[in-house]
Amino acid sequence: MQQIAAAAGVHYASTANLDTLLDECRGRILGMVGFGKPSPARRDIASAWVDMPVIGADRAYEVWASADPVQAGTSGRVRSARNAQILFGCVEIPEDPHTDYDALIYDDYCRIFDHLDDLGYPNLIRIWHYLPDIHLDERALERYKRFSLGRHEAFVAKGRAISTDAPAASAVGKRSGNTVICFLAAPRPGIPIENPRQVSAYAYPPQDGPRGPTFSRALFTSWDDLRQLYISGTAAIFGHRSQHEGDAGAQAVETIVNLRSVMDEAHAHGLIDVRRNTDLSFKVYLRQPEFRAMIEARLREAFGPSPSIIYLQADICRRELLLEIEVVCATGSQES
């Protein structure tokens, strides 16, 4: 396995090794997301906490590091840190019982775009959404569908093209509290990758909501001498329909087929071959903790013992789906 500089890219940490990692990367931390039991807030770096149980541990941390010193920035609720090639940011959106959820999402998405435009990082590369009560019905429309509506309208309002500017993304349900959005952005656009087995999410038919989800199945980019493929939250969907309702094992197999399909598509475009000299980092969202052993066996069978994996208990965007998996694939700038 090709060695990638510890100072750059994504790192998954436990409570036991977090301080060591942060010390090693002092001054070069782009951002951090914590999951599980609340931990003391970090004011020195762009960070967020997500009320989402870690399966098998009390906490887990996702740390994004730069090879070079970073510069911090704040605009209202949006906090970020950046080097010349990449920016990490996060925002927490408080609940407002007097405002429709799509309007809340629209307003803060516009703030994110304004922050990125002001700093010269207009291209969203990867974005994560952690939504409380993702299945809540709000005036005849499920909260996730309201979220998709607000996101779509913000893209349009801020001059982003739905089919070409959509980043890799995930949107899952957390237990409580604020909506948390974390993102990577860059001065230049990445290359979107679609899955030939699936309808592009932004082209879903009206039965799936008034606006399709605005994201690409994956996005390829490079920064800090790393070639990276960000695979969006992926589930057991063929075409635009969910598969294997109620069967977690079959959904896991279908999901892995979809992951492989996206990886193969990126290779076919000459971008990255994840089967050679590539570090894989998986984040697995499960409705029920008891699925972990089975999912881990399937993932290790498909991808071997090397990938780093975090398991989180979360609600998936569709009620019938039991799991969702996202991946960061990273390799050096020159593949051997």
Please enumerate in sequence order all residues whose Cβ is within 8 A of that of 30, keeping only pairs 6 or more positions apart, or say none. Answer: 46, 64, 65, 66, 70, 81, 82, 83, 86, 87, 88
For residues 187-212, average pLDDT? 93
The answer to whether 111 and 140 have CB atoms below 8 angstroms apart is no
Residue with tokens 């475009």: 269
- The per-residue pLDDT for 42 is 84
- The per-residue pLDDT for 58 is 95
Higher per-residue pLDDT: 72 or 4: 72
What does the mean pLDDT of the chain come to?
94
Q: What is the pLDDT of residues 174-192, one digit of tens each?
A: 988 899 999 999 999 999 9
Residue 284 token pair: 């697995």
Q: What is the pLDDT of residues 261-285, one digit of tens each?
A: 999 999 999 999 999 989 999 999 9
For residues 160-181, average pLDDT? 95
Q: What is the pLDDT of residues 87-135, one digit of tens each?
A: 999 999 999 989 999 999 999 999 999 999 999 999 999 999 999 999 9
Cα-Cα end-to-end distance for the chain: 10
- Using the predicted structure, report yes or no on whether residue 4 has a pLDDT greater than 90: no
For residues 161-180, average pLDDT? 95
Please enumerate in sequence order all residues whose Cβ is within 8 A of that of 320, keeping only pairs 6 or more positions apart, or say none. Answer: 242, 245, 246
- Using the predicted structure, report yes or no on whether residue 335 has a pLDDT greater than 80: no
- The per-residue pLDDT for 7 is 65
- The per-residue pLDDT for 38 is 86
Lowest model confidence (mean pLDDT) among 36-45, 67-76, 191-200:
36-45
Instruction: Kindly provide the b/e burial profile for residues 255-265, where b requires at least 16 CB atoms within 10 angstroms of the residue's own CB.
Output: bbbbbbbbbbb
Q: Give how far Cα 134 sits from Cα of 22, 89, 109, 243, Å.
A: 32, 22, 17, 20
The strand pair at 168-174 and 123-132 is best described as parallel
| pLDDT band at 5; cut points 50, 70, 90 | very low
- The per-residue pLDDT for 3 is 38
- The per-residue pLDDT for 139 is 85
Q: What distance in Å separates the CA atoms of residue 167 and residue 162, rounded to the nearest whole number?
A: 10
Question: What kind and span of H or E run contains 115?
Answer: helix 101-119
- The per-residue pLDDT for 2 is 38
- Using the predicted structure, report yes or no on whether residue 234 has a pLDDT greater than 60: yes
Helix (H, G, I), strand (E, B) or coil at 18: helix
What is the share, in percent, of the chain residues with pLDDT greater than 90? 88
Domains in the chain, start-ordered, CATH in brackets?
9-332 (3.30.1330.40)
Q: What is the pTM of this model?
A: 0.95
The strand pair at 47-50 and 29-36 is best described as parallel
- Using the predicted structure, report yes or no on whether residue 202 has a pLDDT greater than 80: yes
